[in-house]
Amino acid sequence: MKKIWCKLLILVCCVMGLMTMGTMNSHAASVHHTLNYFHYNTYKDDDGRNWVRIEMGMNKDKLEYEAGQHPDKPHQLLLRLKDTDRGEVKKSIGLDRKIARYMNLKNDRRDLVVAIGVTDSLDEHEYKVYTAEADKKARKPYRLIIEIAEDRGQTNTVTEEELLEGIDGRTVVVDPGHGGTDTGAIGPSYVREKDITLKISLEVARILQANGVNVFMTRTTDVDVYGPEATDTQELQARVNVARRHPEADIFVSIHCNAFTNPSARGTGTYYYGHSSRDSLLAQSIQDEMVAATGLYDRGINSARFYVLRNSWIPATLVETAFISNPYEEKLLDSAEMQHTMALAICRGIRNYFHSMG
Amino acid sequence: MKITRIIAVMMIMLMTLALAGCDQENKPQQPKEAPKAVAEQKPEKTAEDKLTIKLYFPNNDATKLIAVEKTIKVKGEDKYRAAVEALMEGTDDSKLTVVIPKQAKLLGVSVKGDTAQVDFDKGLIKHFNGGSTGEEFLVGSIVNTLTEFPEIKKVQITIEGKRVETIKGHMDTSKPLSRMTELIK
């Protein structure tokens, strides 16, 4: 009982404290940029692709901004304009509806947050965000310009061997093992697990996306997923949470390199925990393709108490591509050709899994 | 302006007090969590005892654990610790690999109920290269060696007295592990 009161007190204090802080903030110096111009139009580029172009003008130049996919809403392009006020521009603006649907503007403390809803997942659209200087002839002020294309253009096309049918619209979480402060295992020639897992995972994501799969990655660069000071559980749970944040996610695939004290250990193996038969089916589907594509020694599928597998709510598997501690396999893992071969094999395994699930 | 600032400061002070209050309430529970239980092992004889035990080592391919019989001398110290020490000493069999890093120090083995707690220093993690297979066989060799004693059903690995969620980022070692029969086959 005493605990509940304690918590309540903290909550009330937090809210009131924040409120007072908020009023203090709004009294602080006024923001630097204020919007004073808005314009949008559609156009066709030289390749005949349709684009929507949005211009947001403002009173001063040197705007700082961030742009990217909304972390939880894949259909939104999210922009944060630092030190900017919405001014007289409307809160909500309807757009062309074929490429971009709407645009919401919201003041967030000193920044302006702009969310642009696009028709498909943002990964399906090529987009550019840049600033343009004031154009006196055209009577346009300094602007932030956003251009969104109807498709993703030539940036991600598949070769014939990468064409995987029947997986369009599925959602896959890809987890490149280790990263940041955690190098993972290190090979005899100092090849680091975290670098190889990221390269293979990015290739897996590229192939899947090109085949219409919605991909979420736990990391896309060399970072700790939770943070450099995290405990092991925080770090591993953060990876699991990426899937939990996306209820539409069908499967979780973690990609690793194996290691053992003795350099003679070799081969490719896939792990599952076994909440349901789907876990072992997913593991076996990937294992079969990995063995067929790489010709490596088949270690088979094994059930194991691995954190990311045990705590996953969706079918999950951990692929141990090859032994980085084995000099021969370390060389293989380090080659772009083998990374591609393995990525494609993993994607084919994923496709086979989805096919057998119907 | 001044008033709002004063209110803000007061609120923060109140928050700190409230937090501190909750903290104190939680504190007394902690010592119960970390029992420094010394094995309730009563050596029946003060003289040297000879004991033949099974130690588990992975083969060089890391495809399975192989049992190696060894006769150890148990003096005053308990047999569980002696078994882990024998495992760390390794084997002459060139077909087998010793997975526990040489730099790791065994701090103690204690038994509570059917669970053995094996405590290492940080060297176990620091000097271990990792890999799913490496980690599985490291943990498996310890767990399977200790569960050879019929009274031990589970093994908890700790680092300097604390439970660790994982040794190298794969296996969940936060809870006691039962015998890993899948590695013996």
Q: Is B11 helix (H, G, I), strand (E, B) or coil?
A: helix
Chains A & B: contacts with CB separation below 8 Å: 137
> Which among B11, B62, B130 has the least Cβ separation from residue A265?
B62
Hey, of B133, B159, B179, which one would you mutate to test binding to chain A, going by the most A CBs within 10 A of its CB?
Answer: B133
In whole angstroms, give the CA distance from residue A271 to residue A318.
5
CB contact under 8 A, B171 and A318: no
Instruction: With beta carbons under 8 A apart, name residues in chain B contacting A260.
Output: 58, 62, 97, 99, 131, 133-134, 137
The tokens of A133 are what? 């200087």
- A34/A36 Cα distance (integer angstroms): 6
Mean pLDDT, to the nearest integer, of A209-227? Answer: 92
- Find the range with the poorest average confidence among A114-118, B15-19, B52-56, B155-159: B15-19
Residue B184 pLDDT more than 50? yes
Closest CA to A354 of A289, A296, A306: A289
Mean pLDDT of chain B: 82
Contact B11 A265 (CB under 8 A): no
Tell me how close the Cα of B79 comes to any Cα of chain A, in angstroms: 27
**Assessment of whether the complete model's pTM goes beyond 0.90:** no
pLDDT 10s digits, B84-93:
999 999 999 9
Q: Per-residue pLDDT tens for A250-288?
A: 999 999 999 999 999 999 999 999 889 999 999 999 999
Q: Where in the sequence of chain A do the CATH 3.40.630.40 domains occur? A: 157-357
Rounded distance between C-alpha atoms, residue B45 and residue A75, angstroms: 74
User: DSSP states of A180-203 as a string?
Assistant: TTB---B-TT--BHHHHHHHHHHH
Q: What is the mean pLDDT of residues A30-45?
A: 89
Average pLDDT (B40-46) is: 45
Q: Which two tokens stand for residue B7?
A: 């209110």
Residue of B nearest to A231 (CA): B165
Tell me the residue ranges of DSSP E strands in chain A.
Answer: 33-44, 50-58, 65-69, 76-81, 84-85, 92-94, 100-108, 111-118, 127-132, 142-149, 171-176, 214-217, 251-258, 268-272, 298-303, 316-323
Contacts of B171 in chain A (CB under 8 A): 304-307
% chain A with pLDDT above 90: 70
Give me the residue spans of the domains in chain B: 49-183
Question: Across residues A85-98, what is the average pLDDT?
Answer: 92
Task: State which residue of chain A sits closest to B139, comparing Cα positions.
Answer: A305
> Of A20-34, A283-297, B46-60, B150-164, where does mean pLDDT reach its minimum?
A20-34
A121-150: pLDDT as tens digits: 898 888 888 888 898 888 999 999 999 998
Residue B103 has pLDDT above 70, yes or no: yes
Reply yes or no on whether the pLDDT at B43 is more than 50. no
In angstroms, the separation between the Cα of residue B133 and the nearest Cα of chain A is 6
DSSP-assigned beta bridge partners for residue A108: A111
Residues 248-307 of A with CB under 8 A from B: 256-262, 264-266, 269, 271, 299, 302-307
Where along chain A do the CATH 2.60.40.3500 domains lie? 33-154
Higher pLDDT among residues A60 and A25, named by residue? A60
Task: Report CA A329 to chain centroid distance, whole Å.
Answer: 29
A98, A41 in Cβ contact below 8 A?
Answer: no
- Tens-digit pLDDT profile for residues A48-86: 889 999 999 999 998 998 888 888 898 999 999 999 999
Q: Give the separation between CA A103 and CA A77, rounded to whole angstroms.
A: 9
User: What's the mean pLDDT when you consider all of chain A?
Assistant: 89
Q: How far is CA A22 from CA A26, B90, B166, in A?
A: 6, 64, 42
Identify the band that residue B185 occupies on the pLDDT scale cut at 50, 70 and 90.
Answer: confident
Fold of A33-154: Immunoglobulin-like (2.60.40)
Give yes or no for residue A358 having a pLDDT over 90: no
B133-168 pLDDT, tens digit per residue, is 999 999 999 999 999 999 999 999 999 999 988 898
Mean pLDDT of A318-340: 98
pLDDT at B173 over 70: yes
pLDDT of residue A11: 58
Share of chain A above pLDDT 70, in %: 91
Sequence-ordered list of residues with C-beta below 8 angstroms from that of B29, at least 6 positions apart, any chain: none
What's the mean pLDDT in B40-61?
75
Is the CB of B171 less than 8 angstroms away from the CB of A303? no
**Which residues in chain B have Cβ-Cβ distances shorter than 8 Å to A264?**
60-61
pLDDT at B130: 82
pLDDT in tens, B21-37: 444 444 444 444 444 44
In CATH, what class is A157-357? alpha beta
CA distance A85 to A29: 13
- Residue A262 carries which side chain, given as an amino acid letter? N
Nearest to B169 among A14, A236, A311 (CB): A236
**How far apart, in whole angstroms, are the C-alpha atoms of residue A65 and residue A85?**
13
* CA pseudo-torsion sign A116, A117, A121, A126: negative
Helix (H) or strand (E) holding B123: helix B123-126
Q: How confident is the model at residue A197 (pLDDT cuts 50, 70, 90)?
A: very high
